[in-house]
Amino acid sequence: MSFERDNQRRAGSVGASTSRELATPGKRTLTQDLAPMSAVQKSTPDAASTVASAGSSSTGEQALETTVPFTATIQHAPNDSSESPGGERGPADGAPLRIAEMSGPEAHKETRTPDALSAAFTYLPATTRGGVAMGAGEFGNTQGSVKHFSNVVITPGSGKFTITAELKQTVKWDTRATKGPAGQDNVASDTDPALTKTSYPQVAKDLTPDMSDLKGRPPRTKFWSKDLTEKHELYHVKDFVDIAKKGAGDAEKWLGGQTAAKKADVPALLDRAWTNQIFNVWDKFTDPPAVEERAYSDGAPSYKARADSIQAKGDKGDYK
């Protein structure tokens, strides 16, 4: 994957990502064409461990793009062409340099795998539910993108260049509306009406996390839990946002250690900061299988608790 990215980065090609499922049921992988790195996009779908036919999905509002403010300072390195012998900058280098949208490598990426889960996400303005098309076998899907810096202002100062910019991020997610991708019935709790003395053993089995499959993906062959799928997708949302915000901070720190002889040299440093501190880190962190293993591992206790409770109640004869 890195080989493809490096070649396309040098070529400056533009492409769209695709994802495919391996022949082994439930084991999914990702292939992609990476465009110039002006944006990074990925999605983490929630697919069944057993491949099934496509079903309906819930609908919602379109995702809104969120802006993360970005500020950095670069030391001004003297240069004969930009400074007088007395150390004063020439008039051409005194005005701010404004760039509406940084151009550079762009990537679109989607990660398609199985289901549900996660912790509360505090950066809500960055996320929107809806606008996600479900593929065959998917219970839910999360898509995220990070764009190259925009609204860049590079201002010369006394011995430094001050940079302000925006790092824009969009994250959207959704789950199936009611039925699973193969018509699986939703089981919302251990008192769900779908639970009977004949159905509960299968429900407990379907909701028990398989720790050998992505560190906790449940089988969900006939039954699923929408609320736990939502938790899974929200874990992905938090993953996408947290790593992008960290990358912005790391880029600011790296730029603070750089120098430039003139303001025209700064955009190249911004490109390097975007590529090395944001794009490469965000891209690797959100790659499968690790991105799914983190989410399933986080959700495994919730699935196990529900499955165990259902099994215990059924064994006691609580279901009719």
Q: What is the pLDDT of residues 36-81, one digit of tens each?
A: 345 667 878 787 664 343 444 454 444 556 666 677 777 776 654 4
Closest to 251 (Cα-Cα) out of 176, 152, 319 = 152
- pLDDT bracket for residue 103 (50, 70, 90): low
CA torsion sign for 170, 279, 133, 223 is negative
- pLDDT bracket for residue 28 (50, 70, 90): very low
Cα-trace Rg, the chain? 24
Across the chain, what does the average pLDDT equal? Answer: 75
CB 208 within 8 A of CB 85: no
Q: Where are the beta strands (DSSP E) in the chain?
A: 18-21, 28-31, 39-47, 66-76, 97-101, 107-108, 113-114, 127-129, 138-147, 150-156, 160-175, 185-186, 223-224, 259-260
List, for residues 277-298, the tens digit of each pLDDT value: 999 999 999 999 999 999 999 9
Q: Is the pLDDT of residue 123 over 90?
A: no
Least reliable range by pLDDT among 91-95, 121-125, 174-178, 241-245: 121-125
243/42 Cα distance (integer angstroms): 13
Which residues partner with 161 through β-bridges? 74, 156
Q: What is the pLDDT of residue 38?
A: 56
Stronger pLDDT, 197 or 149, i.e. the higher one = 197
Closest to 250 (Cα-Cα) out of 294, 281, 287, 220 = 281
